[in-house]
Amino acid sequence: LAKTTQPISMDSYEGQEVNITCSHNNIATNDYITWYQQFPSQGPRFIIQGYKTKVTNEVASLFIPADRKSSTLSLPRVSLSDTAVYYCLVGDLPYGGATNKLIFGTGTLLAVQP
């Protein structure tokens, strides 16, 4: 499983767009990139998953360059309730589904201020 590196923490203000970048230099051909969000005293919640280029859903966008050695989670117009820890995970099959144990790092603590 590819190792991931992401900032320990980030600060933002309400209404701003937030971009969290994750490095995964050793990503393998079969690996997918998955992001989870965790609020205090809750379990992680799946946000988005992608393999290449760009993926968008109702919550976020995921940008993956051609070499796939990094990825960027983009949160549009954050609010106070987006304050949470965000985890970047990399693995195959697509990652995080049946048969795949998830390998979490320490994540990025996003603090959104008024």
Rounded to whole angstroms, the Cα distance separating 25 from 17 reads 25
- 27, 4 in Cβ contact below 8 A? no
Determine which helix (DSSP H) or strand (DSSP E) holds 62, and give its type and residue range: strand 61-64
Check residue 83 for interaction with other proteins (CB under 8 A).
no
**Count of residues of this chain found to bind other proteins when the rule CB under 8 A is applied:** 21
Check residue 8 for interaction with other proteins (CB under 8 A).
no
- 98, 85 in Cβ contact below 8 A? no
- 62, 71 in Cβ contact below 8 A? yes
Question: Using CB under 8 A, which of the segments 13-21, 65-73, 74-82, 104-112 binds other proteins?
Answer: 104-112
We find the least distance from the C-beta atom of residue 83 to other proteins, in angstroms, to be 16
Q: Which two tokens stand for residue 1?
A: 């499983």
We find the least distance from the C-beta atom of residue 97 to other proteins, in angstroms, to be 5
We find the least distance from the C-beta atom of residue 55 to other proteins, in angstroms, to be 13
Secondary structure (3-state) at 81:
helix
Taking CB under 8 A as the criterion, the residue among 14, 46, 76, 80 binding other proteins is 46
Residues that bind other proteins (CB under 8 A): 34, 41-46, 49, 87, 94, 96-99, 101-107
